[in-house]
Amino acid sequence: MNAKTNDLAALEADLSARIASASDEAALDAVRVDALGKQGAISALMKTLGAMSPDERQAMGPKLNGLKDRVGEAIVAKRAALAEAALEARLASEMVDVSLPARPVRVGAIHPVSQVQEELARIFGEMGFALEEGPDIETDFNNFTALNFPPKHPAREMHDTFFLKPDEKGERKVLRTHTSPVQVRTMLKQKPPIRMICMGRTYRKDSDATHTPMFHQIEGLVIDEKTTMADLKGTLMAFIKAYFEVDDVDVRFRPHHFPFTEPSAEMDVRCDRSGGQVRIGQGDDWLEILGCGMVHPNVLKNCGVDPEKYQGYAFGMGVDRLAILKYGMPDLRDFFGSDARWLKHYGFSPYLTAGLAGGIA
């Protein structure tokens, strides 16, 4: 009896040691099979109960059952401890330090036109201009008539207009030839004072290295009770300085004709063309940048603004051309060629905001 008890104690000590030292699930399972499996040591001892005398069985039964339960529980506890340790190890090895700086992946680029539009919106936004919008398909009235183009006037054809088929009422829409119709839309919906810009696509039948049938313009309009050519000049000079990031700029106004402004002018900026590059702000040359003028009283009338009380100025220029002048792409047609290599070369990182070093003066 004692010998058997000693045997049981030795068996339990051995099993406990093996359970404690099992380093993984497989080793632990091997112990389980050796102890409690069909051929296991404890199972074999349980089988001997049947051949015992009732007294013996009464003595051994509870001992064996106790052993079986304790070993079973020890295995369950060890299994849980191993699972916990495995999870801890995995968490430690897979830990991600979210405070590390991100590694930028440059998968796309901002098109120069979008970049320049951002810059323009920012410069004029800082000067208090609101951003307006209008559709690409315009009425003849907004694109021409309200802007004081006389009916049948050759100026309508001068714009190399894309006309759409007339509708049932005989109205012939156009692909807007300039962003100036957004002036009309703004004045019709909003009372002065007005201070707005609009940027967008414009269309003319034209195609060579400096012209594409679709291109982009920016338009500006200011209407108030006291607005002068001097305000126009000051605003445009501030714009040129900010956009080209130069401290000094010299401009000149050449008389011109636009139906919607009186007087009208084209503005040139002093530049240097030596070395095949255009440098704005210095030199002996002039670069035509934009058209502008004081809004024609007829335009104000056409848009429901009293020309006795209000005047204003307007200006318009090509966004693509502004991009070329600042960032130096040789051919405008490539802008719209959808060549990913071109975009990779001339595009801008999406991680940078409109990169203006100087801000506005």
* Residues making contact with ligand DAH (CB under 6 A): 178, 180, 219, 258, 261, 291-293, 314-316
Minimum CB–partner distance for residue 328 and ligand DAH (Å): 23
Minimum CB–partner distance for residue 191 and ligand DAH (Å): 20
Minimum CB–partner distance for residue 173 and ligand DAH (Å): 18
Q: Is 116 exposed, middle or buried (0-12, 13-18, 19+ CB in 10 A)?
A: buried
d(CA 274, CA 8): 104
d(CA 190, CA 8): 99
Minimum CB–partner distance for residue 361 and ligand DAH (Å): 23
Which of residues 32 and 195 has its CB atom nearest to ligand DAH in the complex? 195
CA proximity to 300, closest of 218, 188, 153, 189: 188
Which of residues 115 and 202 has its CB atom nearest to ligand DAH in the complex? 202
What is the amino acid identity at position 67? L
**Residue 147 DSSP one-character state:** G
Which of residues 280 and 314 has its CB atom nearest to ligand DAH in the complex? 314
Residue with the shortest CB distance to ligand DAH: 316
d(CA 294, CA 229): 7
Which of residues 33 and 130 has its CB atom nearest to ligand DAH in the complex? 130
Residue 315's beta-bridge partner residues? 220, 292
Minimum CB–partner distance for residue 103 and ligand DAH (Å): 45
Which of residues 144 and 348 has its CB atom nearest to ligand DAH in the complex? 144
Cα dihedral 239, 242, 244, 248, rounded to 10, equals: 90
